[in-house]
Amino acid sequence: MEIDRRLAAGECLGPLAGVPVVVKDTIDMAGFPTTAGWSLLYGKTGGIDLIPERDAPVVSRLRDSGAVIIGKTNVPVFSWSGAHANDSWAGPTLNVLMPDRVPGGSSSGTASAVASAMVVLGLAEETGGSIQNPASAQDLVGVKPTTGLVSNAGVMPLSSNLDVVGPIARCVRDAAICLDALAGYTSEDPKTLAGIGKKPKGGYTSKLSLDALEGKRLALYGCGWRNQPLSKEAEQLYDRAKEELERLGAVLIDDPFAGSGFAGLRKATARHGSYDARGLESLPYDVHRYLGRLGPNAALKTFAEFAKATEKESLFGAMGALRSLLHLPQFEAILAHPSQPPNIDEFIAVKQEYLATFEEVFAHHHLHACVFPQMLQELPPLHGREFIRETTVSEINIAGLPAVTVPAGYYASGSPFGLIFVGEMWSESRLLAYAYAYECSTRHRKPPPLR
């Protein structure tokens, strides 16, 4: 009613005026505890409350755009799982489509809130799949932006080199409108300087068109990108999606990364034997800087204080959520001196190789984007030992490339099948346009039954 009154009075309102949204728990909201899903960082479970005095810039931008923030959403401990939030102090998050399957992580709660129509939009954040996994797992649109397009200041970090904030929505247009509100320079986050001049004139909805795929050359998934095969049913669903794309005028290029050396750049260094964790070496330093932003009254102000307060369940102990980071060659030295800028030479080197190879393949084959199944196979059980097997985590996170997920059908079990469009840096507007054309033509997404 307030929005209606202001509109009737001729007031100029923001693009998200009155739109209900949620915010991932790791993103700071002034006066609300940021718990990272960990009981040791929540007062009501015997932990310490970390209560920021300021909003993160992305939250400030939501408020400025008129959005109504209704709450924060559940995550796994320290955002470490890309599949679920089973270890959160708040309990597991359920997949709205299939409660017995994983909801995707670490932005699990954000995806569930959007999928259930509790809200229109949700803020998610990705270090290694945490936007694309939950979006695809719950049949949603997710935008993983180019590193530096959206600020991640005021976000409890895993890595300032990898972390990106982006929207999850039920349709492409809503995601594009939200990205308009989030993207842009902030002095709190110097890397956003790189994004100046990269936003499209007219905003991220300006290129949305039903014929956006006409004549566009799209790379297909193959062993040149990653030497991991799709399941038989995923292959069948992908074949159908290829036919749909061709009917929309797309030109499909079979495995253009073959022979480029791209697949060989990925190195399993941590977590479940498949995740390339290079770039997370800086975590102690990044957490140290994050704590310093909370304000002078914060319960913890340095990484040393953080480590002391949580030593009984250390993140890096034998059972700690982040214990596998100890396998990174530079990590222990950085952990010993968390207030000093870290040496991340190996990460910088592999990032440079990823970008150079990606750009060479795109130039050689005159590509506009990649279009892959977001997952190799259907979702695993909620409480099983399996994890989501995606196609683009590590590669695009280390390189800093943008991606957009879009619903593309269902397995026989009812598990959602999604596509992911991946492009060159700063190509979000084009990727959103391709996803929009596909979404409008196929209309695969079906609203889930609410139990």
Which residues participate in catalysis according to the annotation? 24, 106, 130
Other CB atoms within 10 Å distance of the CB of residue 90: 16
Angle at the Cα of 98 (from 94 to 101), degrees rounded to 5?
70
Residue 150: which residues within 8 A CB-CB, separation 6 or more?
58, 164, 165, 166, 179, 182, 183, 184, 192
C-alpha to C-alpha distances, 438 to 163, 198, 208, nearest whole angstrom: 28, 24, 11
Residue 144: which residues within 8 A CB-CB, separation 6 or more?
126, 131, 132, 164, 166, 396, 402, 403, 404
How far is 228 from 221, CA to CA, in rounded Å? 10
Largest Cα span, the chain: 62
Residue of 424, 399, 419 lying closest to 409 (CA atoms): 419
Residue with tokens 């959103």: 432
Residue of 427, 411, 392 lying closest to 131 (CA atoms): 392
How far is 71 from 57, CA to CA, in rounded Å? 17
Decide: 417 and 139 in contact? Cβ < 8 Å. Answer: no
How far is 94 from 116, CA to CA, in rounded Å? 11
Query: CB-side exposure of 341: number of CA atoms within 13 Å?
Result: 2
Other CB atoms within 10 Å distance of the CB of residue 195: 21
- b/e map 389-419, b = 16+ CB within 10 Å: bbbbbbbbbbbbbbbbbbbbbbbeeebbbbb
How far is 36 from 415, CA to CA, in rounded Å? 28
Residue with tokens 């007031």: 11
Is the bond preceding 106 in cis, omega lying within 30 degrees of 0? yes
